[in-house]
């Protein structure tokens, strides 16, 4: 009886969470007058014209901005995994002067709103000549206080005798780090997934750095369509939003098991 109630409750909650996404998917086939009738869930006709308008470049250079988003999100995820795992290794396995101050500084990156850093970040990007370039978005994104905290906890689970054995064999700290890294495959993939999703949905930094429409990311290009014209078919925006969900959803489904196991290990440590 309790299991049936739990299953029913989870099913109801799942439906509530899924409904906005299902409504968005259905709205990709609707005319404007039907979209503005939120109680009409099913489209009157299954017309794929709006997907064609999206991908043909009539409103935005869809394939170009999609590729920009993929390059930026993958670049940020790979860079953040490398930088933050290296920092986490140092914080977890070494004691040095200023360690506490630096760790608190990393924590401040989590607490401080990104908007507080917008002006100095824009000035810095402009001064180093990275304005209106994808690398100007990737570079600030590889710095993550959340990643440092996450990998510090992960590396604390590695027994010290493993590191001592590598050092006895003559491995330096850099070599020791690379020898330990394969043991953390699930953790690396899990944080890569988290950072990929955060980078994919990022608006602030791309909006500050990217100026040319061809250099924009997909979320930024889609947001520019909202309210752009009374004649604009909002089904194109819905279709773009639906397609923007596909990369993160596929990545999550592929790595779900390892992601769940890694988070459970970190929370139990």
- Domains, the chain, ordered by start: 1-47 (no CATH), 48-268 (1.10.3720.10)
Residues 119-176: pLDDT tens digits?
Answer: 888 888 888 888 888 898 999 888 888 888 889 888 888 888 888 887 887 777 888 8
In angstroms, rounded to a whole number, what is the distance separating the alpha carbons of residues 65 and 130? Answer: 18
Q: How far is CA 163 from CA 56, 97, 260, in A?
A: 55, 21, 26
Count of beta carbons in the 10 Å neighbourhood of residue 74: 18
Report in angstroms the alpha-carbon separations of 27 from 9, 24, 30, 73, 232.
27, 5, 5, 27, 14
Q: Mean pLDDT over residues 84-111, rounded?
A: 85
User: Which segments of the chain are extended strands (E)?
Assistant: none
Q: pLDDT band at 82, cuts 50/70/90?
A: very high
Give 103-115 pLDDT, tens digit per residue: 888 888 788 887 8
Structure tokens at 209: 């750095």
Instruction: Give the closest residue to 142 by CA, choosing from 73, 207, 90.
Output: 73
Q: Is the dihedral of CA 111, 113, 114, 117 positive or negative?
A: negative
Q: Are 109 and 143 spatial neighbours (Cβ–Cβ below 8 Å)?
A: yes
């Amino acid at each position: 009886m309790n299991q049936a109630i739990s299953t029913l409750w989870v099913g109801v909650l799942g439906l509530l969470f899924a409904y906005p996404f299902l409504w968005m998917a259905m709205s990709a086939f609707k005319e404007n007058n039907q979209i503005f009738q939120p109680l009409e869930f099913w489209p009157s006709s299954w017309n794929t014209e709006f997907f064609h308008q999206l991908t043909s470049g009539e409103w935005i250079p869809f394939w170009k901005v999609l590729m920009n988003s993929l390059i930026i999100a993958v670049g940020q995820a790979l860079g953040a995994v490398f930088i933050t795992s290296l920092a986490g290794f140092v914080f977890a396995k070494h004691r040095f002067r200023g360690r506490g101050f630096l760790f608190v500084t990393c924590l401040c990156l989590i607490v401080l709103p990104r908007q507080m850093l917008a002006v100095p970040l824009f000035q810095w990007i402009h001064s180093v000549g990275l304005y209106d370039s994808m690398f100007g978005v990737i570079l600030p994104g590889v710095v993550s206080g959340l990643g440092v905290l996450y990998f510090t906890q992960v590396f604390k689970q590695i027994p010290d005798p493993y590191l001592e054995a590598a050092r006895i064999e003559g491995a330096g700290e850099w070599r020791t780090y690379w020898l330990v890294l394969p043991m953390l495959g699930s953790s690396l993939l899990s944080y890569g997934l988290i950072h990929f999703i955060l980078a994919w949905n990022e608006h602030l930094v791309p909006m500050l750095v990217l100026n040319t429409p061809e250099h924009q990311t997909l979320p930024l290009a889609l947001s520019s369509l909202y309210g752009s014209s009374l004649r604009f078919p909002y089904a194109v925006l819905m279709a773009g939003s639906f397609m923007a969900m596909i990369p993160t959803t596929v990545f999550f489904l592929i790595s779900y098991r390892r992601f769940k196991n890694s988070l459970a290990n970190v929370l139990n440590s």
